[in-house]
Chains A and B, each alone.
Chain A
Amino acid sequence: MNDYAIDTEALCLSYGNKLALDHLTLRLPRGAVHTFVGANGAGKSSLFRVLLGFEQASAGSARVLGHDATRLTPALRERIGYVNEEHALPGWMRVRELKRMHERQYARWNEARYHEVIRHFNVMPDQRVCELSRGEQAGLNLALALSQCPELLILDEPTLGLDVVAKRVFLDTMLETTLFDNDGATIVFCSHQMDEIERVADNLVILEHGRLRYMNGPADFCERIRLWVAAFPFKTPDVWQLPGVLQAQTIEGHTHLVVFDQDDSFGARLKLLGAQSVQTIPLGLERAVNAFLTCGHAGTSRRAA
């Protein structure tokens, strides 16, 4: 059996002349929470659509739970849960009917888990889906997905558009139900909210322009990105020539440099360029990811510098 929940090899997906996935090779081990981060258009949702067989790859291969993504059988689909940001449930159906439909279709349906999740949300069985708030729809969607007991659960920005309270309830419920009642499931969680990522991630995957830019633990990522603050008494030299610079900004006469994968010798380099004082500050995940992704937009960051 393949040890990877998701395994892609040089995966490409093009929409016309635009490449949404660009030779993406990605191997996600089973039984962990993998968080996906990337700017809009980085290819996250496209990747999920390919993995679920809803888009045909232009080149390369994709395997889900050890099976070719283009040939997912109904039995395999039962093992894969999917929650998207739109919570596109049929508005004309009642909650009870929707639940009954899923209950009948999924052999491993966990009734207790459904009630455990849905109790966190103010959802009545006789309500129509269209009568639910966005947060309630998200809760219902999560309850349905978790109760299927999937081996792989893909959550594509499930908290998008939710208010603070709904977001907290959603994450709490997900963590309580899944992480602490874990039955070896793999979770792929995609979000733009770094606090959510920090809370749930075992593994951080950063995509940019359809390519894999980083994959490892979030703590490791934060350790490798540091902020250096240097004071140049005279004209600020061209700091972009230094290795690993992701972002450069001048704030109140001090040059702030976000740097990737550089040790203490980077301070010495700054001094060689004429820095009067140099200090290094660790960065939080949000700032680190922001700098990492902004680096791709070179023009933006250099203008800021």
Chain B
Amino acid sequence: MLELYFSELRRFRKAAAIHGIACLLILVALEQVGDLPNESSWTHVVMLMLYMLSGLGLALYQFGTYRQPNRWIWLLHRPTHRARILAALVLAAVTLTLLAVALPLFIVLASQAHFTNRVIDGRHYAGAAFLALSTLSAWMAGGYMMLHRSRWAFAILVLPVVLTMRMATAATVLGLGVACCALLLFLLYTVFRPSRRIGDGAGTVVANALPLQVCFYLALVWGGSMLFQLGQMLAGVYPLSSDHVPRGGHTEAVRSYPDEAIQLGLATNANPRASVWRADLDRDNSVSVGPNVRQYAVRNLITNQGRVMFSDDVNLRTFSHDRMMYRGVNRRTRADKGWLGAGDDGMAPFDAQPTVVRDNRKTTYLVNPHDLHVLNAARGTLHRMLRVDGTEQLAGGVAVLGDRTLVLTNRRLILLAPSAGRQDIAAAVRLPLPFGDLERVDAAGVTDGILVSFLYGYRQTDGVADAPQIIYLVDHAGRVQQVARRELTHDFPLLFEHKDWWVSPALYALVNLPDALIDNGSIPDDGASRFAELLRPRPSVAWAAALAACLLSAACAAWWTRCGRATPRTRLTWCFACLVLGVPGLLSLMVLWPREHAAVRPALAVAAHG
């Protein structure tokens, strides 16, 4: 089908040329006002969406014209296997994507690397390849949507989003992109047949059903959540509304200043010294200690996480993942100012990309999972303040209280004290619960020492039941003693907090499994398994809801397939699938197995003459 391949190229050559040149001009123009490869991930997401839209648009037009009945017959009624015909179309789309999407991106990146002092890493080229791959994914998804007989086929668009949009390494994301393209190609092939029906093969049905089920799952969870919250707003009982903040709850604690948060924690405390501490508390002697970072950029990240750039008084520095150092240019002249690395001499490469945080005194720090550097903005130098090892990771929280510098990690709160021109660890308070649930840490200076408050409940709306506030006193000698604890009330009903899970426990696991398997730089809970989130205990009410939803779905599936062409085995399989997958499984059944109309009635006695 070489002729068809060339024919498609010829058909879209003008459109591809216009697209490619337009992209090139826009990219060059944007590079003049910014540094696109090192912009935030949101900029990259917008670019990704625009490129995917162009791929989708091409497919909708291309397959839209071929889908017309007589043109479809022209395309497929020939002595050539449909796989070869599809291959010609896919190869044409690949060629067009390379010319109209990848080439302009590579030209811009290569020219930036060659002619400017900007940082262009290998990951940026991988990012350009990923954009081209995503455009191709969108093209395949568009082809599938156009050829599929169900209007619900648009659900396929969920697949590239769920599968590939991850804060992972370029190699991982490219691998996922290739896998996504392969899966979409298979799905496109299932509908690229004369009748445009997906067929009854088990593999084909599963491959077609799964994206639909994930789409329905996400729609149910997100849509249901939105509707529920809207209902609360209309009823005037929305917990996040400023007029109806529930007392003793998570929202109230989160919205407090550090001294107020500690006051709330001490409010009902029976400790005789509590009244003295409460009297001591004010806004000037209390600070918030983060956490300011919950996720770092992994090395060779496909996009950007945190701040890749920072500037001192003179230079603008951009982090390079290839060298794991900052490249500096003069802010005014853009002249090259060399490389800045970790350590006091600035010569060693960083372990991981740092991000910029500031303390309560506006001092700038560069923090990555293991190193905390303080920036001397006037001299443009770094000084390593703290290093942690092993599984302990810094959480970006830094605050200064008196002569103590407080630094938060995923294991403890470290109190540094000045000693002979350095900062030594004077005391440490171990986190009482997993770091992932930690909402905020506050500290306040009192006459007895420093009060440290750990407020939990960050993942309360994701189904974590415990949300206490625990306050410790660190006395002048560095001894740590728990002085107060209170349980925060739940602002939302339990079923709302566990909605992700009980709607479909199986799909919850499936959707969240990649997060557990792929390192996205999130700061882990100290000592916890990466699968801990998937195995989180659920209350009985959530179990009951999940069980009811699954049983109801299975019963509805049995009713839905009670008549028609379903064989007993097929029927049993669907019922079992609905029992496992819950409501999303049932909805996918209703789409893929629509009720048959009663049009085919028994033959009438219509005699033909002749």
* A contact set with B: CB distance below 8 Å: 10, 12, 14, 16-19, 22-23, 45, 49, 52-56, 58-59, 70, 72, 74-75, 77-78, 80, 82, 84-86, 88-90, 92-93, 97, 100-101, 104-107, 211-216, 224, 260-261
Contacts and interface: CB of A to CB of B under 8 A. Distances in A.
Contacts of A59: 600
Contact of A80 (B76, B77, B194, B599): B77
B197 interface: yes
B599 A14 contact: yes
B73 A54 contact: yes
A52 B600 contact: no
B197 A56 contact: yes
A82 B69 CA distance: 13
Given A16-B599, A106-B79, A215-B610, A54 B3 contact: no
A232 B228 CA distance: 79
Nearest to B76: A54
Contacts of B603: 10, 22-23
Contacts of B7: 90, 92-93, 97, 101
B70 interface: yes
The bracket for how many chain B residues form the interface is 20 to 34
A275 to B, nearest CB: 26
A265 to B, nearest CB: 19
A16 B597 contact: yes
B609 A14 contact: no
Contacts of B598: 17
B115 interface: no
Contact of A54 (B195, B599, B609): B195
A214 B69 contact: no
A32 B606 CA distance: 26
A49 B69 contact: yes
B81 A58 contact: no
Contacts of B78: 74, 77-78, 105
Given A14-B600, A58-B599, A101-B3, A88 B74 contact: yes
B71 interface: yes
Contacts of B74: 88-90
Contacts of A16: 597, 599
B180 to A, nearest CB: 29
A82 B79 CA distance: 12
B496 interface: no
A143 B25 CA distance: 47
A49 B195 CA distance: 9
Nearest to B197: A56
Interface in B60-82: 68-74, 76-81
B604 interface: yes
Contacts of B604: 22-23
Contacts of B195: 53-56, 70
Please indicate which of the listed interface residues B7, B81, B597, B610 has the most CB atoms of chain A within 10 Å of its own CB. B610
B323 interface: no
B11 A90 contact: yes
Contact of B194 (A14, A53, A84): A53
B608 interface: yes
Interface in B169-220: 194-195, 197
A104 B3 contact: yes
A54 B194 contact: yes
A18 B70 CA distance: 21
Contacts of B197: 56
Contacts of B72: 54
A123 B81 CA distance: 30
B549 to A, nearest CB: 31
A105 B80 contact: yes
Contacts of B255: none
Contacts of A72: 194
Contacts of A22: 603-604, 606
